[in-house]
Amino acid sequence: MNNTLKISFFIAILIQLNACSISQLTVRASMPLIEGGIIAMNKERDLQLAQEALPANISLIEGMLISDPHNETLQLYAAQAYYGYAFGFIEDGFMDHGSFQRGNPQRAAQLYHRCYQHTQVVLADYGIDQTFLEGHLDALQDKVNTLNKSAVPALFWAASCWAKSIDLNRDNTHSLAQLPKTVMFMQRVLELDEHYYMSGAHIFFGVYYGSKSPMLGGNYQLSEQHFAQANHANKNKLLIINLLQAQYLERQRFDQEAFHHLLNEIIQASDNLYPEQALINKIAQYKASLLLKKEETWF
């Protein structure tokens, strides 16, 4: 290597080190470990183990983000972790060493908001900053329409976390007024990649159209169609779909028979139904048992 090439080589190294600090390089080198941990957590069948492990995993990701705050992948992993922890173990309660811990919707709402805050960092990289998020719907819609498939993860988790935060703050009129923006985000996900995250957009709209009476904008037929499409895409192996159909659609249209059948079907499902998503299925089974206890009250 001649002197000119050597100088160019070292200059390139110095530029790279300047652009990425040692801590950032360490974080990025550790990404395969985080990704492996997420895969392992999704396969976990012990709810108590998962409930105890998730806070530590969240703290680890938050710590990594201090060193690499603009790491979009980590921001979305953090959002996903907050959502999973709030939905699985805080919103409706959980079993802790044999005793039932009551749900804490207020804390869950705070966790969903933290989830949403992480997605805002990524949305800003796609040009959707606070000006758009707090501005007029038409301007936001125009901006969202320009986004391509690469923005799907950010839109999906932003809509999911924001909508749950709104749902648990229904007494806040300003918060409720933001719901159309979450629908806008998820509609774009549906257009760009309807199968992203286990057809999550279809599950979202199944809940959205099923949880309201037709007089208030609900549509039971559309809800049923979205739940059916999600089930078809997941080969009827993802139990959370039927759980949400029972909880929102069947309860809203007062179909006790369907409600009872769906929940019992979930509880009786095999532990090996969907090994890659064992945790969410175990959560669905646990939540189904809680919902069945409310059947006489609701119907």
* 230-256 pLDDT per residue, tens: 999 999 999 999 999 999 999 999 999
pLDDT tens digits, one per residue of 28-47: 777 788 889 899 999 999 99
pLDDT tens digits, one per residue of 77-100: 999 999 999 999 999 987 666 666
Query: From CA 143, how far away is CA 134, in angstroms rounded?
Result: 13
* Rounded mean pLDDT, 131-143: 93
Whole-angstrom CA distances from 11 to 20, 90, 101 are 14, 51, 58
Question: Bigger pLDDT: 103 or 113?
Answer: 113
Sign for the CA dihedral angle at 36, 227, 109, 89 comes to: negative
Q: Which of 60, 68, 57 is nearest to 22 (CA)?
A: 68
pLDDT for position 22: 76
* Rounded mean pLDDT, 172-195: 94
pLDDT for position 9: 42
Q: Which residues contact 140 (CB under 8 A, 6 or more apart)?
A: 128, 132, 133, 181, 184
Contact predicate 285/239, CB 8 Å: yes
- Token pair 């959205």 is found at 208
Share of the chain above pLDDT 70, in %: 91
* Position 14 pLDDT exceeds 50: no
Q: Which of 45, 39, 41, 38 is nearest to 284 (CA)?
A: 45
> What are the phi and psi torsion angles at 93 (to 5°)?
95, 170
> What are the phi and psi torsion angles at 213 (to 5°)?
-70, 155
The H-assigned helical ranges of 168-219 are 173-176, 179-192, 196-210
Query: From CA 46, how far away is CA 52, in angstroms rounded?
Result: 10
- Token pair 């199944």 is found at 206
Stated pTM of the model: 0.89
Residue 198 gets the label, from left (phi > 0), alpha (psi -120 to 50) or beta, of left
User: To the nearest whole number, what is the mean pLDDT of the chain?
Assistant: 90
* Rounded mean pLDDT, 182-208: 98
**DSSP-based three-state secondary structure for 95:** strand
Contact predicate 164/83, CB 8 Å: yes
